[in-house]
Each structure stands twice: as C-alpha cells, then as structure tokens.
Amino acid sequence: MAKKIISIIGSTGIGKTSLAIKLAKYFETEIISCDSRQFFKEMKIGTAVPSDEELKEVKHHFIGNLSVEDYYSIGQYEIDALKKIDEIFRKKNVVILVGGSGMYEKAVAEGLNDLPEANAENQEKLLKIWQENGLEDVQNLLQNLDPDYFKLVDKDNPRRLLRAIDIIWQTGKTYTENISEQKSKRDFEVFRINLEAPREIIYQKINRRVDLMIENGLLQEVESLIPFKNLVPLHTVGYTELFKYLEGSWELDFAIEEIKKNSRRYAKRQITWNKKLENVHLLNYDYSWEEVLSLLNILKF
C-alpha cells in the first residue's frame, strides 16, 4: 500500500487540531506538527498548543521540542520531519500533518528548493537596518524586492523577512522564484484537507480564541518571557502586543484588540496561501464525521 500523508490546512483557530486528532485515532497513527510557533516550549498559551489531554490522545511530534533561545531553520525542520515520517511509515501507512505555517507544510509535502545558508554579512546588515530604523524599513525592503511573497509572509515575523531578503541578495532571484522549484520527489502521496468557513465565522473564532488565551494566562506567559523579548521567536502575534502593554506603551484592552486584529490579518494570509496549493479537498468547519468518512472514501483511503 502506498504511504500517504493527510495534511490538514486552514486558517488559524478553525479547528485543525481537532480534525487531526480524529483522523490520527481513526488510522491509529501519529501527528507531525508544522506549526513553527508551537516548536517553542515556553510559548504554549499564545500559540494555542494542543492541551495535555489532546497530546495524550495521539502522539504528536515537533511540539514544545525547542527553546526560544534555539535557532531552528526551515531546512532543518524539513530534514527532521522527513526522518520522523519515515520512522512512522515503517509501522503505519498514513501520517497526519497539521499546522498553520504554510512554508513548513510545503517543506514536508512538496520539498523546497535548495536554499543557501544564512550569509553572515547580509544578516549583519539587515539586523542593523531593523535595530536602527525599525521593522517597517525591513518590510518595505522585502516589498520592493518581492511583492508577491510580501503579500503572503507574516509581516510581523522578522525572522521570515530577514531570511527572505538574505536569499534574494544571495541568489539574485526573488524568494518566490527560489521556493517555487521542487527540491525532490516525495516517496509518499499527499492529500490536503482545507477546513473552510465564512470569513465572519473565522473572525468570531479568532476573537473568542484570543479571549480564552487571556483567561488562561497569556499575559503571565508573556511576562515570564520579558528577558527573551528581543529574540526572534517572540516577535509574533500575541507576544509583541502584550510586551508593549508591559512596557507601558499601550493599555491592556488596546493590546488585546491588536492581537485580534493581527490574528485576523494572519488568517487572511493563510487563506491566500492555501488557495495556491495543489491537491486540496475542501471540508466545511462544522463537518460531520460522516462527511469526513465520505471524503476519505473519495480519496480512496
């Protein structure tokens, strides 16, 4: 039987984790996370890591496996994830892939073109621009160099911005061109299930999720990470806004509304990204299990 990956995609907060667990239990298999923010063990609440109960239901990989002080590239993730998938395939025919980081999902599902390692001189220049002129100058630089990628990238994630610009400078090609070529053929089939919902439903879910994060102690989590606030993993939605509150720049209510607004923007980018993917099968967010089984039957599982 051909080895298969079912990749669960969709916007943030739509219910990908729940579906992934149901499918993993149905196939008696394991889950590979491709949510790059959930790699970091100190960032549980703000990245909506699966609960302890959910993690006990099914074996998950690449959740809480790193510290915010660790450097971890998408290239290394591709190597590590494929190695783990190969291990699972020795005993299972199906693996579930889930997460909201589109580039990381693509790295596993399709492979990325060979990209050069970070150039120290370029990184130094870019860090100087960021530190002296602010993130907006870095954003403008990438927008001028590669407007197509700029529409999709998490604009508040300096690590993604700096990496893309560095590669453009090194290769003389846009980042979009660099990642459009497949690195290598995969020896497994990939089926993507895209959870969909009307935009107003997505926004309602995001707003509620942020409220729950605050109730569950997100502010305290962010407070504990103040010593690391300048590290790249912490320059992300849910953390940058609350750091501004803790610094006294913003009121708490305003910071929370900014988290909701930036999360909605992130969801828009995810939707745009997912529309460009291949072999995608749509599933409504309020699906019944019968609909899931019907889809699996259509996909010949």
The parent domain of residue 269 ranges over 4-112+183-298
Rounded Cα–Cα distance for residues 234 and 42 (Å): 10
Res 155: pLDDT: 85
Quote the tokens at residue 290.
Answer: 């019968």
Asked whether residue 172 falls in the same domain as residue 265, the answer is: no
Residues of the chain with pLDDT below 70 are 181-184
Q: Are 136 and 68 in contact (CB under 8 A)?
A: no
Dihedral angle computed from the Cα positions of residues 64, 245, 201 and 215, in that order, rounded to the nearest 10 degrees = 60
Asked whether residue 189 falls in the same domain as residue 88, the answer is: yes
> In sequence order, what DSSP letters do the residues of 217-272 get, joined into one string?
THHHHHHHTGGGTTSGGGSSTTTHHHHHHHTTSS-HHHHHHHHHHHHHHHHHHHHH
Asked whether residue 199 falls in the same domain as residue 248, the answer is: yes
Asked whether residue 96 falls in the same domain as residue 198, the answer is: yes
Q: What is the DSSP letter of 7?
A: E
* Binding positions for substrate: 12-17
Give the angle 15-27-194 at the CA atoms, nearest 5°: 35
Asked whether residue 127 falls in the same domain as residue 96, the answer is: no
Quote the tokens at residue 289.
Answer: 């299990």
pLDDT tens across 224-265, in order?
A: 999 999 888 998 999 999 999 999 999 999 999 999 999 999
Q: Is 196 helix (H, G, I), strand (E, B) or coil?
A: strand
Asked whether residue 281 falls in the same domain as residue 153, the answer is: no
Res 118: pLDDT: 83
Instruction: Give the domain-ending residue among 128, 145, 180.
Output: 180
User: In this structure, what CATH number is given to the domain that contains residue 221?
Assistant: 3.40.50.300
Instruction: Give the domain-ending residue among 151, 180, 209.
Output: 180
> Residues with Cβ < 8 Å from 65, sequence gap 6 or more?
39, 41
Rounded Cα–Cα distance for residues 126 and 120 (Å): 10
Q: CA dist 299 to 249, 269, 292, Å?
A: 52, 27, 11
* Binding positions for ATP: 10-17
> Residues with Cβ < 8 Å from 240, sequence gap 6 or more?
156, 234
Interhelix angle 158-171/135-145, rounded to 10 degrees, is 40
Asked whether residue 35 falls in the same domain as residue 156, the answer is: no
pLDDT tens across 7-49, in order?
A: 999 999 999 999 999 999 999 999 999 999 999 999 999 999 9
Asked whether residue 53 falls in the same domain as residue 191, the answer is: yes
Q: How many helices (H) and strands (E) does the chain have?
A: 14, 6
Res 182: pLDDT: 57
Asked whether residue 86 falls in the same domain as residue 212, the answer is: yes
* Binding positions: 10-17
Instruction: Give the domain-ending residue among 150, 165, 180.
Output: 180
Residue with tokens 């750091």, as numbered in its chain: 243
Res 280: pLDDT: 96
Q: Are 197 and 12 in contact (CB under 8 A)?
A: no
Quote the tokens at residue 169.
Answer: 């400078």
Res 36: pLDDT: 95
Sheet holding 280-284, edge to edge: 60-61, 31-33, 94-98, 4-10, 189-196, 280-284
> Residues with Cβ < 8 Å from 162, sequence gap 6 or more?
123, 126, 127, 130, 138
